[in-house]
Structure 1
Amino acid sequence: MILACHNLNKAFGDQIIVKDGSFHIEDREKAALVGLNGAGKSTLLKIVMGELQADSGEVILTKGKTVGYLAQHQDLMSGNTIYEEVKTAKAEIIEMEKQIRTIELEMSHLSGEQLDARLASYHRLTAAFERADGYAYKSELTGVLKGLGFTEEEFDKPVDALSGGQKTRVSLGKLLLTKPDILLLDEPTNHLDMNSIAWLETYLLNYPGAVLIVSHDRYFLNRVVTKVIEIELGSVMTYMGNYSDFAEKKKQLRDAKLKEYLNQQREIKHQEAVIEKLRSFNREKSIRRAESREKLLNKITPLEKPVEQNTDIHLQLEPACVSGNDVLHVENLSKSFPPQTLFTGISFDIRRGEHVAIIGDNGTGKTTLLKILNSVIPADSGFFTLGTNVKVGYYDQEHHVLHMEKTIFQEISDAYPKLTNTEIRNMLAAFLFTGDDVFKLIGDLSGGERGRVSLAKLMLSEANFLILDEPTNHLDIASKEILERALNDYTGTVLYVSHDRYFINQTATRILDLVNNTFVNYIGNYDYYLEKKDELTQVYAVPPATGTSGTEAVPAVDVSESKLSWQEQKEAQARERKRQNDLKRTEERIGWLEERDAEIDALLSQEEVYTNSVRCQELAKEKAANAAELEELYEKWEELAE
């Protein structure tokens, strides 16, 4: 065990953050700390780090172990460049290297005992340098910076001039390179693109120390952690497994508690009714029996009703009218912000009912494309058309459609006057606005809070084509799940940009990957995209040849003119899925028949069976039938496997 927290208590006034909270982290263990926004996750990390004092309880770190902490917000003002800043993480190795070089120079002028002494120091330092992997530290620095999304051209940028998100990435890189025994990471994926998140997943999985992560990225948690620590209404509970395991176990636990509570309530009401009936008989014996039951009833310790979850809220999104089958047609669209080319000659179609996710690295033009489709900015060339009866609902990250002088409640009620107060409050609760929060002024809200209000308005708009830019930003996990269910039940069409891979996996029926200035089309969810990414990128989005400038346009992949049309590709992928399913079913049937064959052999060796001629004939007949079927299945399997 490397870290243990025992009976922690912390409150701010009347607000209890944690009550008798206990958990521990083992050596090399990867754990997640989860909970609703405001539950106290960041506070708990600060208590562990000693930045906040707990009201009571203790934090125990194994003697001699080191801790590294990444807070959500960084304010680096060191005057260093990006490379110089992360290089400070290797200060000890750099100093060791400097001493080695100094001794090398000195030894050329020494002899005798002095030389022997310096040689001993030299061997000791070089051995320590090798143990610390000192010869590879420069390539390690470069690898971490590139993994976190920095290009070599950016290494010389001063950190003082970076955005908050870039400073967080620099701080993360610096922390990873110091290699503490336990890493505490508060929302480490917030400012990373998909490639950088995938790199960080691999890095943490292979990290030799322990890791405790606060994150709302469920796909990331599923890949990395083997333990989930949840903080909810002050209580701390530990679940073994990844995020999906935790979600399932938590649901089972809550269902069991709710069942127990309801059973007790039924029993209490039943006993109260019996007591009342016995008293109504007004006989000495019946009154004594009623009093006896009353004593037993008073000894029952009432169970607390399990807390209702935000996930119990169900948003109903229903378009005001049905659009035509062809919702959006995009042809030869191009956009540049010289000297950078974002995309060139892209063409695609979206049909009614599709849920299409646009993915790609930061800066490739995903948000720009959505702005073009909503006529916020013009394209350089090409055009797009909307289909019959298409009514667009647009959510962007800048939230232009809010009135700063209104309260949150007024913003919704003025836009949708037919909604009841309860309906408005339910919608706002789904987006984390409860109690008196609904009377806050829009002008006083943070950017994330305004985004949630805009999203709530959009969900009520009755549009039949939703265009969403990063809809899950600033939502906690419970709210993401509410939005996922709402979109999956939505009968209209959805086009969205997102970095949330779990959200994409749950809601997308198709993915457009913006890579090498063009789109590659995938008919499936994020897992399917991962499976086919390398293969299809090579076919449809060949990178520029060596020697071409980075701003040179790459020939567009026009779906109608590519090797496979969109429809042909869809049909080919459907055939492949059918083949895989048939192969799986064939393998399962072969396995079952082989197991049954072994069972029959075992039965035939039993005296009560082999002395029963009728039973022997039945089993022999079944064995022969199984052998014939297996012969056919083996042939079928070979065909499908090829």
Structure 2
Amino acid sequence: MILSCSNISKAFGTEEILKHVSFHVEDHEKAAIVGINGAGKSTLLKIIVGELAADEGSVTIAKGKTLGYLAQHQDLHSQTTIYDSLLEVKRPILEMEQQIRTLELQMKHAEGEKLETMLNTYSRLNHEFELLNGYAWQSEITGVLKGLGFVEEEFSKPVSELSGGQKTRVSLGKLLLSKPDIILLDEPTNHLDMESIAWLETYLMNYAGTVIIVAHDRYFLDRVVTKIVELDSGIATSFQGNYTAYSEKKAIIRAGVLKAYLNQQQEIRHQEEVITKLKSFNREKSIKRAESREKMLSKMDLLEKPTEINDAMHITLEPCVTSGNDVLSVRELAKSFDGMTLFTNLNFEVKRGERIAIIGNNGTGKTTILKMINGLLTPDNGEIRLGSKVHIGYYDQEHQVLHMDKTLFDELQDTYPDMNNTQIRNVLAAFLFTGDDVFKRIRDLSGGERGRVSLAKLMLSEANFLILDEPTNHLDIASKEILENALVHYTGTVLYVSHDRYFINKTATRILDLTMGTLINYIGNYDYYLEKKETQEKAYLASAAQAASRSAKSSGAGNTGTSSHPTAAAGANPTALSGNGTGTSAASSASAVTAAVQAAASASSGKLDWKQQKEEQTRLRKKQNELKRVEEEIHTLETRDQEIDALLCDETVFSDVPRLMELNKEKEELNAKLEGLYEKWEELAE
């Protein structure tokens, strides 16, 4: 064990964030801390590194182990360059190298015992230098910088001139190069593009030390971590495995807890009904039994109702009208900024019902394409044509569609004037805005809160073509899953830009990769894209070379036709579009056989289940009929018992001794029968 948290508690004011949190992490283990926004994940990391003091509990780190921490936000003001900032981490190695070079010069003029001492020192330093990978420090720095998305032209750029995201990447690079025994990372994938995230995944997977991560990137967590520590309502629970394994185990546990709660509630209602009935019998034994059951209920440990995963935010996306089959057609699209060409001659189409993800590195122009489709930017060249009955709903990652000076309530009321106050409040409540929250101004909201307002407007738009720019930014994992579910069940068309690979994998039916100034098409989700990426890019480069060759020949012949710049977008790359071949056909055949076997087994199992259900229903029906018969018999005997009580008060009866004896005997027999019936009723009622 390299790190242990024991009974960590932390409160801010009256709000208790962490409640006796305990967990441990083994040496070389890769662990993640997960939970909804505000669960206390960052707070826990700050307590571990000593930036915050816990109200209660302790953090224990194995003796002699070093710890490195990357916070979410970095505020670096250094005037040094990016390269020199990372070079500073290697200062001890540089000093050691200088010491070795100095010794080499000194040994040329030394002799005897002095030379022997120098040789021993030289040998020791060389050994340490090799252990610290001293001969590769330059390539190590360059590799980390390039892995994190910096190009060589940026290495000499001063850190003070960088954006917040770039400063975070510099800080991450310094941390990785320092190689502490324990690395703590708070949202390390923020500000990284897909290639950089993939590089970081591989780096951390192969990292010799221990890694503890707070992240909302589920694909990243699936690949890197082997342990999940969940923070839920201040309580920590540990799960072995990656995020998917945790999610599956959590679903099973939640289902079990919910079932136990519902069973207990059913038992409580049943016991209350039995108690009421026993008291209605108005007999000493029945009343004592009722009191005994009441005592048992009072001692019962009541289970809390588990909160539903999806009860935080409610999204229902439904188009008002169905669009035509051809939703969007883009032809020969081109755009440049400040003399830098993003792309030329982009061609693609979108059909009704598709969910298309546009992916690519930062700065390639993904958001630019969405803005041009929405008319927010003008293309330098090309045509964008919407199909019949297409109504666009736009989600902007910068939330420029929101009016910063308006309140949440006014934002919805002004956009949808037909909605009344109650309807507006209900919609905002579905997105976690209640009470006076609805009168907050947009400008005062956090990024996550603005995202929820934009999603609320998107839901109300009833659009049949959703265009989404980074819709999962600032959303916690639970909210992402809710949005995923809404999009998967959406009957309209979706075109979106996202860096969230798990989200893409769950929702995309097609991927357009914006790379090398063109779009390469993949018919499938993110896993399919990874599988086919290398093949498709090679096919595109070969196609581009052939096109360039043809262009050169036709140019020599005086050809002035349309541009021959190749595109691998929809319809232009048969390999990417079909993805089918004999292998797929064989796989389909095997799948068909497997499906047939499973269908037969399912049908057999269904018959057995149906028979068991019928038998159980018959048994329950018999018990219910028996219970009804007993209740009717009790009612008849109790009525006769009351009649006898009335007769015994009659002077003509209690003065007639034989008649009196006869009624008393009947009453005793009635009471004996009733006692047996009460017990029978109680038994059947269970």
Question: What TM-score do you get using the length of structure 2 for normalisation?
Answer: 0.81
Letter in 1 for 2:566: A
1:21-48 deviation digits (Å, cap 9, x = unpaired): 1011101101110011111000000000
In the TM superposition, residue 432 of structure 1 has moved relative to its aligned partner by 4.9
Letter in 1 for 2:586: R
In the TM superposition, residue 452 of structure 1 has moved relative to its aligned partner by 2.9
1:300-338 deviation digits (Å, cap 9, x = unpaired): 111111123335754221111111110111111111124
Cα distance in structure 1, aligned partners of 2:446 and 2:83: 32
SS in 1 for 2:520: strand
Which 10-residue stretch deviates more, 462-471 or 431-440? 431-440
2:374 aligned with 1:367? no
Cα distance in structure 1, aligned partners of 2:496 and 2:261: 42
Tell me the equivalent position of 2:348. Answer: 348
Aligned ranges 1:281-300 → 2 under 5 Å = 281-300=281-300
1:465-503 deviation digits (Å, cap 9, x = unpaired): 111111111111111111111111111111101000000
In the TM superposition, residue 377 of structure 1 has moved relative to its aligned partner by 1.3
Cα distance in structure 2, aligned partners of 1:236 and 1:150: 37
In the TM superposition, residue 544 of structure 1 has moved relative to its aligned partner by 8.7
Tell me the equivalent position of 1:412. Answer: 412
Letter in 2 for 1:174: K
Letter in 2 for 1:556: P
Tell me the equivalent position of 1:439. Answer: 439
* Structure 2 contact 314–431 (Cα < 8 Å) conserved: no
Letter in 1 for 2:235: S
Tell me the equivalent position of 2:177. Answer: 177
Cα distance in structure 1, aligned partners of 2:588 and 2:61: 50
Letter in 2 for 1:508: A
Cα distance in structure 1, aligned partners of 2:517 and 2:62: 51
* Structure 1 contact 149–196 (Cα < 8 Å) conserved: yes
SS in 1 for 2:73: coil
Aligned ranges 1:77-88 → 2 under 5 Å = 77-88=77-88
Tell me the equivalent position of 2:225. Answer: 225
In the TM superposition, residue 579 of structure 1 has moved relative to its aligned partner by 3.0
Decide whether aligned partners of structure 1 residues 587 and 489 sit closer, same or farther in structure 2, where only a CA change above 3 A counts: closer
Tell me the equivalent position of 1:69. Answer: 69
Cα distance in structure 2, aligned partners of 1:8 and 1:543: 60
Cα distance in structure 1, aligned partners of 2:594 and 2:265: 50
Decide whether aligned partners of structure 1 residues 543 and 206 sit closer, same or farther in structure 2, where only a CA change above 3 A counts: farther
Letter in 2 for 1:320: C
Q: Highest CA radius of gyration, 1 or 2? A: 2
Which 10-residue stretch deviates more, 439-448 or 138-147? 439-448
2:532 aligned with 1:537? no
In the TM superposition, residue 259 of structure 1 has moved relative to its aligned partner by 1.0
Tell me the equivalent position of 1:522. Answer: 522
2:583 aligned with 1:573? no
Tell me the equivalent position of 1:33. Answer: 33
In the TM superposition, residue 4 of structure 1 has moved relative to its aligned partner by 0.2
In the TM superposition, residue 76 of structure 1 has moved relative to its aligned partner by 1.2
Aligned ranges 1:100-499 → 2 under 5 Å = 100-310=100-310, 314-417=314-417, 424=424, 427-428=427-428, 431-434=431-434, 436-499=436-499
Tell me the equivalent position of 2:619. Answer: none
Q: 2:566 aligns with which of 556, 562, 570?
A: 556
SS in 2 for 1:347: strand
1:156-198 deviation digits (Å, cap 9, x = unpaired): 0100110000000000011001111111000000010000000
Tell me the equivalent position of 1:512. Answer: 512
Which 10-residue stretch deviates more, 180-189 or 440-449? 440-449
Question: What TM-score do you get using the length of structure 1 for normalisation?
Answer: 0.86
More helix by share: 2
In the TM superposition, residue 254 of structure 1 has moved relative to its aligned partner by 1.2
In the TM superposition, residue 421 of structure 1 has moved relative to its aligned partner by 6.4
* Structure 2 contact 543–566 (Cα < 8 Å) conserved: no
Decide whether aligned partners of structure 1 residues 33 and 484 sit closer, same or farther in structure 2, where only a CA change above 3 A counts: same
In the TM superposition, residue 352 of structure 1 has moved relative to its aligned partner by 0.6
SS in 1 for 2:461: coil
Decide whether aligned partners of structure 1 residues 543 and 131 sit closer, same or farther in structure 2, where only a CA change above 3 A counts: farther
Tell me the equivalent position of 2:89. Answer: 89
Cα distance in structure 1, aligned partners of 2:217 and 2:432: 18
Q: In the comparison of the two structures, how many residue pairs are matched?
A: 581
Cα distance in structure 2, aligned partners of 1:525 and 1:247: 20
SS in 2 for 1:460: helix
SS in 1 for 2:45: helix
Decide whether aligned partners of structure 1 residues 4 and 441 sit closer, same or farther in structure 2, where only a CA change above 3 A counts: same
In the TM superposition, residue 129 of structure 1 has moved relative to its aligned partner by 0.3
* Structure 2 contact 412–424 (Cα < 8 Å) conserved: yes
In the TM superposition, residue 232 of structure 1 has moved relative to its aligned partner by 1.0
SS in 2 for 1:573: coil
Which 10-residue stretch deviates more, 146-155 or 264-273? 264-273
Q: What percent of counterpart residues are identical?
A: 63
SS in 2 for 1:388: coil
Decide whether aligned partners of structure 1 residues 54 and 100 sit closer, same or farther in structure 2, where only a CA change above 3 A counts: same
Decide whether aligned partners of structure 1 residues 76 and 563 sit closer, same or farther in structure 2, where only a CA change above 3 A counts: closer
Decide whether aligned partners of structure 1 residues 117 and 242 sit closer, same or farther in structure 2, where only a CA change above 3 A counts: same
Cα distance in structure 1, aligned partners of 2:354 and 2:428: 27
In the TM superposition, residue 398 of structure 1 has moved relative to its aligned partner by 2.5
Cα distance in structure 2, aligned partners of 1:42 and 1:426: 32
Decide whether aligned partners of structure 1 residues 508 and 2 sit closer, same or farther in structure 2, where only a CA change above 3 A counts: same
In the TM superposition, residue 447 of structure 1 has moved relative to its aligned partner by 4.0
In the TM superposition, residue 277 of structure 1 has moved relative to its aligned partner by 1.3
Decide whether aligned partners of structure 1 residues 374 and 133 sit closer, same or farther in structure 2, where only a CA change above 3 A counts: same
In the TM superposition, residue 580 of structure 1 has moved relative to its aligned partner by 2.5
SS in 1 for 2:303: coil
Cα distance in structure 2, aligned partners of 1:478 and 1:83: 39
Decide whether aligned partners of structure 1 residues 521 and 39 sit closer, same or farther in structure 2, where only a CA change above 3 A counts: same
Say what the alpha-carbon RMSD is for the aligned residues.
Answer: 2.4
Cα distance in structure 2, aligned partners of 1:554 and 1:127: 59
Cα distance in structure 1, aligned partners of 2:587 and 2:289: 68
Decide whether aligned partners of structure 1 residues 588 and 383 sit closer, same or farther in structure 2, where only a CA change above 3 A counts: closer
Which 10-residue stretch deviates more, 340-349 or 581-590? 581-590
Cα distance in structure 2, aligned partners of 1:335 and 1:70: 37
Decide whether aligned partners of structure 1 residues 337 and 541 sit closer, same or farther in structure 2, where only a CA change above 3 A counts: farther
Cα distance in structure 2, aligned partners of 1:94 and 1:106: 18
